[in-house]
Amino acid sequence: MTHRAAELRAELVAVVLTVAAGRAWVLASGDPAHLPAGPLGADQDSLQTGARDFVLDQTGLRLGYVEQLYTFADGARSHNDDRVVSISYLGLTKADASTGDGEWSALYDLLPWEDRRHVSEDAPVDRLSQEIEAALRRWAGSDRERSERCKFLFGCDDQPWRPDLALQRYELLWEAELVAESPSAARVSALTGAAMWHDHRRILATALSRVRAKLQYRPVVFELMDDTFTLGQLQETVETIAGQSLHKQNFRRTVEVQHELVEPTDELSRDTGGRPARMYRFRREVLHERGQVGTKLPLPRSPR
């Protein structure tokens, strides 16, 4: 009997994020949901060009910000003996995903534990947080190293919540068999969301970690904004990606510190439900003025 030789294949995987109607969305569809993925073309001038062209061809979307994310080459990434190497890219777009297009999925439906905008000093925990914390304590048992990891990553016992550790949190849940992708997921809570195709939820968590980290030192949030916006809309977008609620006055002071990033326009928005709000624009030329170094919109520290 002749056995087929295993093949080594390379593919592009795109994580495309947008914010619309106060929700974060990712380009993902199907059951189980999967990210846009396809063979790596040999005729592209660069991988980044290939990623842009691939998303445009598959979805019709033109990406604004694009960066290479990570290369996933672990064994057992396919259902057969072939070895699949996935080169993933993060892309940001201003597409309106709130219209119900089936190609988009709500980001926090796929990673529900990462949305903590409802958490405050008055209500520091919710049902999902309680379930996860209890399950992790059972899993850690008397193992001190496991216990410390759980506390550090999930903000237990007065530890701060670190939004940019989304990947590490997913990997801990996977190891503790608390997500559906885990090999022996016997204690999966329905609240942790359905599994995605292969390791696409891990790739998504990697992208969320990256974009949240970028908020700290690069003005990538403006890739998700319209040409003009209110400071309230800017705050809502930052909160949506960060998965945290921020103090309004502290946020505005933070923007003022980085006053060269935005400038007021002559427009007023009357869609605020109250007093008209001044519209602003992002001074994209500041990136060239500073050589693309040192410009940022810092993420203020918020409650646990």
- Find how far residue 68's CA is from the centre of its chain: 14
Token readout for 59 is 């979805």
- Closest alpha carbon to 180 in 166, 196, 204, 158: 196
The whole-model pTM stands at 0.87
pLDDT value for 303: 47
pLDDT value for 243: 94
Please report, for the chain, the start and end positions of each structural domain, with discontinuous segments joined by +. Answer: 8-107, 110-213, 221-289
Token readout for 167 is 């990947």
Token readout for 66 is 């694009």
Q: How many CB atoms are located within 10 Å of the residue 134 CB?
A: 11
For the domain made up of 8-107, give the CATH fold. Answer: Nucleoside Triphosphate Pyrophosphohydrolase (3.90.79)
pLDDT value for 293: 47
pLDDT value for 187: 63
Mean pLDDT for each 10-residue chunk of the chain (304 residues)? Answer: 62 91 92 86 68 79 86 63 81 78 87 90 76 93 96 90 95 93 74 87 96 88 92 93 90 76 86 80 72 53 50
Question: What own/partner pairs with CB < 8 Å and gap ≥ 24 does 230-233 have?
Answer: 230/269, 230/272, 230/277, 230/278, 230/279, 230/280, 231/255, 231/277, 231/278, 231/280, 232/272, 232/277
| Residues present in the chain in total | 304
β-partners of residue 65 are: 92
* CATH topology match: 8-107 vs 221-289: no
Token readout for 120 is 């405050």
pLDDT value for 97: 76
What CATH number labels 221-289?
1.10.10.10
Q: What value, to the nearest 5°, has the Cα angle with vertex 107 and ends 129 and 101?
A: 145
Rounded CA separation 37/45 (Å): 19
Q: Calculate the dihedral angle through the C-alpha atoms of 182, 185, 189, 195, rounding to the nearest 10 degrees.
A: 40
Rounded CA separation 27/56 (Å): 12
